[in-house]
Structure 1
Amino acid sequence: MHDPLFILFIGVLIVVGGIIGLKLHPFLALLLGAFVVAAMTPAAVIEEFALAKGATASAAASLAKKSIGERVATEFGNTCAKIGILIAMAAIIGKCMLESGAAERIIRSMLRFTGIDKAPMAFLVSSFFLGVPVFFDTVIFLMMPLAKAMTMRIGKNYLLFVLCIMAGAAMANSLVPPAPGPLFLIGEMNIPIGMMMVGGTIVGLFTITAGYFFALWANRRWPIPLRDALDARLEDIRAIAAKEDSSLPKLGVSLLPVLVPLVFICADTAVDALMVPPKTVVIRSAFPFGLVDMVQFFGDKNIAIISGGIVALLVLINHKKDSKEGLTPFVQAALTSGGSIILITAAGGAFGGMLQQTGISARIADLTSGYQMALIPLAFLIAAVVRTAQGSATVALITASGILSGMASAADLSFHPLYLGLAIGCGSKLVPWMNDAGFWIICKLSNLTEQEALKTVSPLLVVMGLTGLVIIMIAAQLFPLV
């Protein structure tokens, strides 16, 4: 009854059965699953989990004594703290870019540069390189309005654009520092950051190429139309698509809502990399007083996305300066849509958090510790099982690297530990489903149903992860780097 694997099975049954079988709203199904999992987890297991995460004995005991409602609400709130402002402001940015014509201007400029045939590839590569300095969910928020505008412009391939955005952002998030998971991984496994960045980029380009071909196939097999949404009505997008170039914002102005948060976040990432002791004092003395503090302030992801939202609102105000319409209707529509996404994503975070408290990661580590198999597939397998079980790619990276760091250093490896790190990164992509906050973000922002996302988005990441494993094993044989 208290085995984490059994609790996981019950949780999966409630969430998947509730959404697909009973047609429950995802928020209710995820919250119900979180409460049941929390109720089935003994206090001693919760305390052991907290101690393993580095909590003090008193803090661990305090967590174990909390009521089920408190624990679920805490994880719900923690997820809201991570994504609440991001989703709300991203919804405003997307709505403003669509209404002002900024998204349409970007699409027209992209089509002139790439042509219609290469537009999906442009989305794929752009999302990958955006995903290196910027969080996965931020990339999705910034790119999805462009996918909707592009689909309206050419009249087809909506699923292809959605999957290209997902493919690029997801792989960068788990393979290339400075994303949080890869940063922890390189520290745990003593992999040079430059080597991980180069290796992650190379493997990532192979994997997103495989993802692109899967996306082409899925788009032909399950063509999904662009649907009405509160924040992006089809009639509004169609009206904007019919406008003359002269009535749209200039390209530079149109890019500002995306470029402002991107530049701020990239600048903060660069400063953080330079500020590692003992360089801190040197770096601070090399720049004018307060510049570093200003970069770090605006580089915070929440401040950066708020700045982008303010710029997007200014672009919309300028575009509608001759109109008597105020901003309230547009902001209200964006926040109505964004609020629903926040609730569902936070409920998914609560469900994933309750699964983690069952000790599922440690249970998986015990099951795999005695396996006598090659280390690269083992690293991939552990990360994949942890990701599927509890939903977070970052937790899967941290868990798998913690399990294998000692094994990698003790074993007489015939290849560089870089390949283990890359295998863990690829394994952490399998398998996204309803316990993953990212699944709900892509599902709700794209207006795909849960069933559509499960048969397109989830297999997409499986294909890319497995492709990465094959490439890594071949590279470890041909270029062991030792």
Structure 2
Amino acid sequence: MPLPDDWSQSLTAGPLLAIAAGAILLLLLLIIKLKLHAFPSLIIVSLLTAVATGIPITSVVPVMLSGFGSTLASVALLVGLGAMLGALIQYSGGAQVLANKLITVFGEKRAPIALGVASMLFGFPIFFDAGLVVMLPIVFSVARWVGGSLLYYGIPVVGAFSVMHVFVPPHPGPVSAAAFFETNVGTLLLVSLLIAVPTWYLAVYLFSKLVAQRINLPVPSLLGYEETQEDPTNPPSFGTVLFVLLLPMALIFFNTGLNTLATGGVLPEGSANQTWFQVLRLLGETPVALLITCLVAMYLLGFKRQDQAAGLQKIMDGALPAVCSVILITGAGGMFGGVLRSSGIGNALADVLGDLGVPLIFAGFMIAAILRVAQGSATVALTTAAGLIAPGVLAANYNSIQLAALVVSVAAGSVVLSHFNDSGFWLVSRFFRMDEKTTLKTWTVMETLIGITGFAGALAVFGAASLL
């Protein structure tokens, strides 16, 4: 962050906590009560928070721009390319083809479970943002054809991506925590999946059934293309659509999977420095993987079906205006999180909690939860909390299963209480066309349930492993 080297936060945890709470309340007032658009609201509150926490005046705008830019760097390319890919799938009729196949195989009543399970598999190597954008056309198509609230189909999907992203390697958060705790990644994979699957069912799927009965959210248009109820003309085959969806997953696994294998010592020493390894990891970088998939989709879903290049260009171009608002608001949320992070609010609160002497498994969960609320990013909260408690964990001589359970407990804390400074909050809010109040009732509650349920699972595994 662009702060002077000689600056340090002089405020204690009490005033910093009060400022953070006041900032969130002001956002609620501006967005929900006064109906001010989220984009300027986040900028206003970020500016006021930076000044109130004592960030040097000359550094206020650089800090805001740094948070905004770093978020856009990770989100804009993924959302933009994912939107183009989603538009191609939607326009070609591929979304309807896949939706009809899911309904035929699993039945209408089990369609949400099928979507959720598919998203968990799809989310194994793919990050939350990219996976969500690619799956949205299928979710919307199923919801439109089967009927009912979009939440009944959308919540299981976004919840599946969230569960996989925060709990399961090879995602960066759990892998980094495993490195801090010197945990075997293979053991962590087994333990995290053992906890993640029932967590998704209890905290996400059952919650989706409840919330869909209370909030009837209509299915909006998506990515600049309005799907009709008519059968698509010359649609692609189910196998073609499935290949397009699996391609980015396979490519991204080159990156995340190889990195995990190298970190875990499975590959021969020095593999990471070899050209083949670096080329495969480059192909597996999410923006590159989505770019390759877009090009393949243009051929398979467009040119091969004898669509003209000008028509495809129009469809892909039409997808971008639809996601501009999503990208800008997400960047502004990153700006707010960057200000909170630079002000030292999360670190001050974590230090206070660390001095209370609570058991490590509870301390990791609570510190990660505080950091999550303070700065927004689940990955940052997870890795920071893991680093803070790592000395105690290493000194405790836990077995491998207990260490894996500790990683999951910290991960559980890092997912709770998602709000205005979390990019996932704004992605779900804008793509589902939900106002902020509804997003708090749905997405925020779901994320908190995931954290609480995941922590309960980690606690149970930790206790059972202590008897070994």
Please say whether Structure 1 and Structure 2 have the same fold, judged by a TM-score greater than 0.5: yes
Does 2:141 align with 1:153? no
**Aligned partners of 1:322 and 1:416: how far apart in 2?**
56
Q: Deviations over 1:320-370 (max 9, x none)?
A: 636796234322321101211110111111110110011122211222123
Corresponding residue number in structure 2 for 1:131: 123
Corresponding residue number in structure 1 for 2:100: 108
Q: Deviations over 1:406-437 (max 9, x none)?
A: 22233476982222211111111111111101
Corresponding residue number in structure 1 for 2:231: 243
* Cα distance, 1:460–1:66 mapped onto 2, change above 3 Å: same
Corresponding residue number in structure 2 for 1:444: 430
* Cα distance, 1:81–1:66 mapped onto 2, change above 3 Å: farther
Does 2:432 align with 1:432? no
Corresponding residue number in structure 2 for 1:31: 43
Map 1:384-403 to 2 at 5 A. Answer: 384-403=369-388
Does 2:256 align with 1:269? yes
Q: Deviations over 1:447-471 (max 9, x none)?
A: 2221211101111121222112222
Corresponding residue number in structure 2 for 1:51: none
* Cα distance, 1:402–1:282 mapped onto 2, change above 3 Å: closer
* Cα distance, 1:481–1:249 mapped onto 2, change above 3 Å: farther
Give the AA of the match of 2:209.
Answer: L
* 1:280 shift after superposition: 4.7
Q: Deviations over 1:375-400 (max 9, x none)?
A: 32332222112212211111110221
Unmatched tracts of structure 2, length 5 or more: 1-9
**Aligned partners of 2:380 and 2:282: how far apart in 1?**
27
Does 2:155 align with 1:170? no
**Does structure 2 conserve the Cα–Cα contact (< 8 Å) formed by 1:104 and 1:149?**
yes
Give the AA of the match of 1:346.
Answer: G
* 1:4 shift after superposition: 2.2
**Does structure 1 conserve the Cα–Cα contact (< 8 Å) formed by 2:86 and 2:223?**
no
Report how many residues are paired. 452
**Aligned partners of 1:154 and 1:314: how far apart in 2?**
30
* Cα distance, 1:74–1:374 mapped onto 2, change above 3 Å: closer
Corresponding residue number in structure 2 for 1:317: 302
**Aligned partners of 2:420 and 2:225: how far apart in 1?**
24
Q: Deviations over 1:192-236 (max 9, x none)?
A: 111111111110011101121111111112121112456242xxx
1:213 corresponds to which of 206, 209, 226:
206
Corresponding residue number in structure 1 for 2:268: 279
Does 2:17 align with 1:5? yes
Does 2:217 align with 1:224? yes
The SS at the match of 1:133 is: coil
**Does structure 2 conserve the Cα–Cα contact (< 8 Å) formed by 1:41 and 1:357?**
no
**Aligned partners of 2:185 and 2:261: how far apart in 1?**
13
**Aligned partners of 1:195 and 1:230: how far apart in 2?**
40
* Cα distance, 1:189–1:282 mapped onto 2, change above 3 Å: closer
* 1:65 shift after superposition: 8.1
Corresponding residue number in structure 2 for 1:75: 67
Alignment identity in percent? 27
The SS at the match of 2:466 is: coil
* Cα distance, 1:454–1:191 mapped onto 2, change above 3 Å: same
Unmatched tracts of structure 1, length 5 or more: 44-63
**Aligned partners of 2:31 and 2:133: how far apart in 1?**
24
* Deviating more after overlay: 206-215 vs 309-318: 309-318
**Does structure 2 conserve the Cα–Cα contact (< 8 Å) formed by 1:361 and 1:399?**
no
1:404 corresponds to which of 346, 369, 389:
389
The SS at the match of 1:247 is: coil
Corresponding residue number in structure 2 for 1:46: none
Map 1:439-478 to 2 at 5 A. Answer: 439-478=425-464
Corresponding residue number in structure 2 for 1:61: none
* Deviating more after overlay: 102-111 vs 271-280: 271-280
